[in-house]
Structures are given as structure tokens and as C-alpha cells.
Amino acid sequence: MIKRIKPGVRFCEAVVVNNIVTTAGVTGDGSDVAAQTRDILAQIDALLQEAGSSKSNLLTAGIWLRDIAHFAEFNKVWDAWIDKNNMPVRATVEARLAAPELLVEIQVSAVVG
């Protein structure tokens, strides 16, 4: 069975199947990378909770930065948020995002339960 969380016009914000939750790419509000990252991570926390999971159960994280020069600024917020005893595999790349105001996008998967 597939559980779809917050379905929208084009995609769901998260999908749960076989005890794995996968989020869509999550973007956030804010004028800089740190603010957007904090907002995104709060949204991810809420999606994981709704799916019956948490950041301690993360498996993967994909991160897209508009400018890789913001890597250290992003990592400062990430490092304060992540469960250091249960870190996921992670990839971070520089990419042109869907709108000019978007500076960071994150997609994660985690075990449910």
C-alpha cells in the first residue's frame, strides 16, 4: 500500500511505501541560504513526523544549492540539525533551481517506525 502525504496538483510532498518515506524536493522561505535551510528542515521534520518517522531514521539526503559557494553556510545549519549518531548518506550539488529566489532544495528518504 502507498500512503501519499499532502498531494498537490503535480506531486505529493511525501510518499510512504514498504516502510520508507521519500519527500519531494523541499524549498523554503528566507532571504539567505541559512534561513531557507532552517525553513526546509522544519518542513522535513513535519513531513517525517506525519509519516511516522524522524531525522534519526534518515537514509538519504539530496541537496541542491544555487551557488556552491554557500556550501559552508548550508553546512552550519545542517550540522546543528542532523542527528550526528544517525547520519544519512548525502550528496550536495550546485544546480539551477526552479525560481531565482530559491537558494537551496533538499530531498530525503527515511525508514518509518
Q: Is 9 exposed, middle or buried (0-12, 13-18, 19+ CB in 10 A)?
A: exposed
What are the cell numbers at 85? 549518531
Which CATH number belongs to the domain containing residue 57 in this structure? 3.30.1330.40
Residue 109, SS3? strand
pTM exceeds 0.85: yes
pLDDT tens across 36-79, in order?
Answer: 999 999 999 999 999 999 999 999 999 999 999 999 999 999 99
Q: How far apart are CA 105 and CA 87, in angstroms?
A: 18
pLDDT tens across 101-111, in order?
Answer: 999 999 999 99
Q: How many domains does the chain have?
A: 1
CA atoms within 13 A on the CB side of 78: 20
Q: List the domain range (segments joined by +) for residue 26.
A: 3-111
